[in-house]
Amino acid sequence: MIQTSFVTLSRVFSRAILPLFLLASGTTGAWAQEAELRISTQRTPLYAPLYVAKNQGWLNEELAKSSPGTKAVINIFDAGAPVNESFASGLADIGTLGDTPFTVGAAAGIERRIIGKASDGPQTIAVITAYDSKIRTPADLKGKKVAVPKATYTEHLLALVLERGGLTFKDIQYVNLLNSDVAPAIVAGDVDAGAVWEPFLTKFESAKSVRVLADGTGLKAGISGIVASPEALKTKRNAIKAFFRAYERGRAYILSNPVEAGKLIAKDVNLSPELTTQVLKKLDFKTALTPNDINEFRKTAEYIHKIGIIRRQVNIDAIVDLSITQELGLK
pLDDT digits (tens, 9 = 90+) for 266-286: 999 999 999 999 999 999 999
What pLDDT, on a 0 to 100 scale, did the predictor assign at position 3? 66
Helix (H, G, I), strand (E, B) or coil at 173: strand
pTM: 0.89
What pLDDT, on a 0 to 100 scale, did the predictor assign at position 79? 87
Superfamily of the domain at 3-120+222-327: Periplasmic binding protein-like II (3.40.190.10)
Domain with CATH 3.40.190.10 in the chain: 3-120+222-327, 122-215
Instruction: Point out the residues of the chain with pLDDT beneath 50.
Output: 9-33
CB proximity list for 316: less than 8 A, separation 6 or greater: 103, 114, 294, 297, 298, 301
What pLDDT, on a 0 to 100 scale, did the predictor assign at position 138? 98
What pLDDT, on a 0 to 100 scale, did the predictor assign at position 239? 97
CB proximity list for 292: less than 8 A, separation 6 or greater: none
Q: Classify the C-alpha dihedral 130-131-134-135 as positive or negative.
A: positive
**What is the assigned CATH class of domain 122-215?**
alpha beta
What pLDDT, on a 0 to 100 scale, did the predictor assign at position 5? 62
Rounded CA-CA distance 331/85 in Å is 31
Residues β-bridged to residue 127: 195, 214
pLDDT per position as a tens digit, 50-106: 999 999 999 999 999 999 999 999 999 988 999 999 999 999 999 999 999 999 999
Phi/psi at 191 (5° precision):
-135, 165
